[in-house]
Structure 1
Amino acid sequence: MTIRAALIGFGYAGKTFHAPLINATHGLELAVVASSDAAKVHAVLAGVVVEPDPLAAIARADIDLVVIATPNPSHAPLARAAIAAGKAVVVDKPMALDLAEARELVALAKAANVPLWVFHNRRWDSDFLTVRQAIDDGLLGTVAHFESHFDRFRPHVRDRWRENAGPGSGVWQDLGPHLVDQALHVFGLPDRVTASFARQRPGSAATDWAHVVLEYPQLRCILHAGMLVAGGSPRFVVHGTAGSLIKTLPDRQEAQLLEGLTPRDEAWGLDADPAVLHTPQGTHAIAATRGDQSLFYHTLVQSLAHVGIGPIRPIEALATTAVVEAAELSANNGKSVIPALTGAERESYALQ
């Protein structure tokens, strides 16, 4: 059976990530794109149907899966519409603008018996997979310090919704969900979150620098994103009781997609930058694990065929939203914040 997908939105995320990853996944067909610019869509996807109205695309009887890749404030309203239409749903990160809105989506999907996933594609990045494997293999002993950076050098503010003032904008809402999801995937829920945000570029109307610390009993996870980093920040730095690991360069899949490569190309996901392990016995390189973000959609197809639970459990996306929101509250009030998950949600999260 082929699953027919409607992609809602053909901006950066829809065009760069979702469309090529869907098209490279066996059992998936990108049948409809909701966009106000049909010429832009057809320049890339000649045979696809273009619907100018997102709600009309969602309501089509020939669509099984709705993928929402629109600006952040529209994620929850469009997801509600897709759930109400009985369609399986993928929402690009962030899941929603706040924890209350995310809870509502999870509850609606559960009541309607509709699959709901959030596109945390960075779980399948080469850099993260390499670092996580080293941790899982015990090469660092007990981890005490985990540092994860998504840094850019974009000194000039661009006129786009991500950098304008308003709900869902700013570097933390853009990159924070990736950083948090990866950290929680390795270490679980933190006890507290402490954060500082800033607007550093001239004319910046939204957060463009974020420094967040996830506090565990002994471990500290530092999550950082900035827009004035021309070089010098490793992607990951991890210190433990047995040694330290540094992964300097980031995964290349986004760059490969921009170059026109897809998961069907031989070079897809290859990462020539090794991680470097430092121990009392010496220093040596660890070859980077191959990345493959298309596994998100491959796992989704398996789940819809009743062969698995899918790529991201809703409670995991809910936990990420809770930590993202806790960081925002901490940055606003200058205090550490406990993620506001209920006891039942914490128990559900722990059942991994």
Structure 2
Amino acid sequence: MAFQESLGTSPVRVAIIGYGLAGSVFHAPLVDATPDMKVAAIVTGNKERQQSARKRYPNAKILSQVADLWQNASNYDLAVVATSNNMHVPLGIAALRAGLPVVIDKPMAATVNDAQQLLTVSHETGQLLTVFQNRRWDNDFLTVRKILDANLLGPIIRFESRFERYRPTPRQGVWRESADPQAAGGQLYDLGSHLIDQALYLFGKPKRVYAEMFQRRPGAQVDDDSFVALQFASGITAHLWMSQVARIAGQRMRVSGLNGTYEKWGLDPQEDALRTGKQPGDPDWGREPRERWGHLSTNLSEDGVHFDGPIETVPGAYERYYAGVRDALTKGTPLPVDPNSVLEVIRVIEAAQTSAREQRTVTIS
């Protein structure tokens, strides 16, 4: 029986595994805001998080252990793995084998081999697998896509993108700061997985990768200040920065072409909005004021007149991700994020690690 036939007119019942930052701030609110989807279960063994989940989602089942979810997998239509990175692969495989389609938080896996295991099990079980690369729906990235689609910059020369923060002290006991390779900690896996994904989405697979990775903060066990350069067959170069030690952040994005340049400062507002309890559907969701718009200078404007000034930012739209997941499950439309594309992101991360370790440029076949 097809999924849509078995689902009927009922909403897609989503079980969220993990209720830390990813589960509570991103996944649960976005699922809750998506028409024809509902948060049906939340799995967390943390008592405080259980209490918080019950308060916000009183109709959801709160499960203390994931075994309870597998035993009643037929009560759900989708599993979301929003745990620490080291559990992405085992929980993703277990969910697929339990008969559940799966959303896995980025970066999906720590290695290409682990990611390929997930893809293999997805194929064997016939269950859908996708990855939460939400920053494909950031306002700045959507604006860059619109500008490139309109060919307002001419042939592209360079793409610059950065996520820079200031957290001068490593947080003890946090998996993101762990040196365990399976934890996939550090900036290359965290913020870097977003930056690399965006670059590959725009320009395809790179030919060469060069990277610098540093542990700047006293006591840091993983990279906290890194740089990656990607060279594409088209001649485009992408320069990507990710840091925890930048007290003043640089430009979020800058795209240079032979006929124009676009630059944007400041971060997409959706994450901060989600942290304060807002969600899609609220007034002005994803929008930002004029003073935060980016700057476009081009002699290829749509009306044929040279343009140099602020250009309205396309509103951010994280809600499109879960709407796409819903439609893939119920209508058979393409997944919002093809896991094979994220496999290529991990391949670039591995090449960047090799480049930084051996201090050389790595060619990707």
State whether TM-score is above 0.5.
yes
Measured after TM superposition, the shift of residue 174 of structure 1 is: 0.9
Match of 1:225 in 2: 242
Measured after TM superposition, the shift of residue 151 of structure 1 is: 0.8
Match of 1:17 in 2: 26
CA distance in 2, matches of 1:232, 1:73: 30
Measured after TM superposition, the shift of residue 232 of structure 1 is: 4.3
Q: Are 2:164 and 2:249, in contact at CA under 8 Å, matched by a contact in 1?
A: no
1:176 to 183, 186, 192: 192
CA distance in 2, matches of 1:233, 1:266: 29
Measured after TM superposition, the shift of residue 249 of structure 1 is: 1.3
Q: TM-score, normalised by structure 1?
A: 0.93
2:254 counterpart SS class: strand
CA distance in 2, matches of 1:204, 1:337: 26
Measured after TM superposition, the shift of residue 282 of structure 1 is: 5.4
1:173 counterpart SS class: coil
Measured after TM superposition, the shift of residue 277 of structure 1 is: 1.2
Q: Residues 308, 282 of structure 1: CA spacing in aligned structure 2 closer, same or farther, 3 A cutoff?
A: closer
2:152 to 126, 133, 139: 139
2:218 to 202, 208, 211: 202
- The one-letter code sitting in structure 2 at the alignment partner of 1:212 is V
Q: Report whether the alignment pairs 1:306 with 2:331.
A: yes
Match of 1:149 in 2: 162
2:227 to 211, 219, 222: 211
Q: Are 2:270 and 2:316, in contact at CA under 8 Å, matched by a contact in 1?
A: yes
CA distance in 2, matches of 1:54, 1:225: 33
- The one-letter code sitting in structure 1 at the alignment partner of 2:196 is V
- The one-letter code sitting in structure 2 at the alignment partner of 1:310 is L
CA distance in 2, matches of 1:277, 1:238: 10
Q: Are 1:125 and 1:292, in contact at CA under 8 Å, matched by a contact in 2?
A: yes
1:32 to 34, 37, 41: 41
Cα deviation 1:297-340 (Å, max 9, x = unaligned): 00111111124112111211211221122112211222222346
- Correspondences of 1:83-98 after superposition (within 5 Å): 83-98=96-111
2:229 counterpart SS class: strand
Q: What are the ranges of 5 or more consecutive residues in structure 2 without an aligned counterpart?
A: 1-9, 300-305
Q: Report whether the alignment pairs 1:44 with 2:44.
A: no
- The one-letter code sitting in structure 1 at the alignment partner of 2:339 is P
Match of 1:275 in 2: 294
- Correspondences of 1:331-350 after superposition (within 5 Å): 331-339=356-364
Task: Count residues with an aligned counterpart.
Answer: 340
Q: Residues 94, 232 of structure 1: CA spacing in aligned structure 2 closer, same or farther, 3 A cutoff?
A: closer
Measured after TM superposition, the shift of residue 116 of structure 1 is: 0.2
Match of 2:12 in 1: 3
Match of 2:178 in 1: 164
- The one-letter code sitting in structure 2 at the alignment partner of 1:22 is V
CA distance in 2, matches of 1:57, 1:151: 38
Aligned alpha-carbon RMSD (Å): 1.4
- The one-letter code sitting in structure 2 at the alignment partner of 1:319 is E
Q: Are 2:39 and 2:57, in contact at CA under 8 Å, matched by a contact in 1?
A: no
Q: Report whether the alignment pairs 1:265 with 2:282.
A: yes
CA distance in 2, matches of 1:12, 1:232: 23
Q: Are 1:147 and 1:222, in contact at CA under 8 Å, matched by a contact in 2?
A: yes
Q: TM-score, normalised by structure 2?
A: 0.90
CA distance in 1, matches of 2:36, 2:313: 29
Q: Report whether the alignment pairs 1:189 with 2:201.
A: no
CA distance in 2, matches of 1:322, 1:288: 31
Q: Report whether the alignment pairs 1:250 with 2:267.
A: yes
Measured after TM superposition, the shift of residue 204 of structure 1 is: 1.1
- The one-letter code sitting in structure 1 at the alignment partner of 2:270 is Q
Aligned-residue identity in percent: 36
Q: Are 1:130 and 1:275, in contact at CA under 8 Å, matched by a contact in 2?
A: no
Q: Residues 34, 137 of structure 1: CA spacing in aligned structure 2 closer, same or farther, 3 A cutoff?
A: same
2:188 counterpart SS class: helix
1:191 counterpart SS class: strand
Q: Report whether the alignment pairs 1:315 with 2:345.
A: no
2:92 counterpart SS class: helix
Q: Residues 165, 40 of structure 1: CA spacing in aligned structure 2 closer, same or farther, 3 A cutoff?
A: farther
1:171 counterpart SS class: coil
Measured after TM superposition, the shift of residue 265 of structure 1 is: 0.2
Q: Are 1:33 and 1:57, in contact at CA under 8 Å, matched by a contact in 2?
A: no
Cα deviation 1:258-281 (Å, max 9, x = unaligned): 121110201211122211012464
Measured after TM superposition, the shift of residue 132 of structure 1 is: 1.7
CA distance in 1, matches of 2:71, 2:356: 40
Q: Are 1:24 and 1:262, in contact at CA under 8 Å, matched by a contact in 2?
A: yes
Q: Are 1:84 and 1:112, in contact at CA under 8 Å, matched by a contact in 2?
A: yes
- The one-letter code sitting in structure 1 at the alignment partner of 2:142 is L
Deviates more, 1:80-89 or 1:227-236: 227-236
CA distance in 2, matches of 1:264, 1:334: 48
CA distance in 2, matches of 1:39, 1:241: 56
Q: Residues 232, 121 of structure 1: CA spacing in aligned structure 2 closer, same or farther, 3 A cutoff?
A: closer
Q: Residues 58, 128 of structure 1: CA spacing in aligned structure 2 closer, same or farther, 3 A cutoff?
A: farther
Measured after TM superposition, the shift of residue 58 of structure 1 is: 3.6
Match of 2:302 in 1: none
- The one-letter code sitting in structure 2 at the alignment partner of 1:250 is L
Match of 1:63 in 2: 76
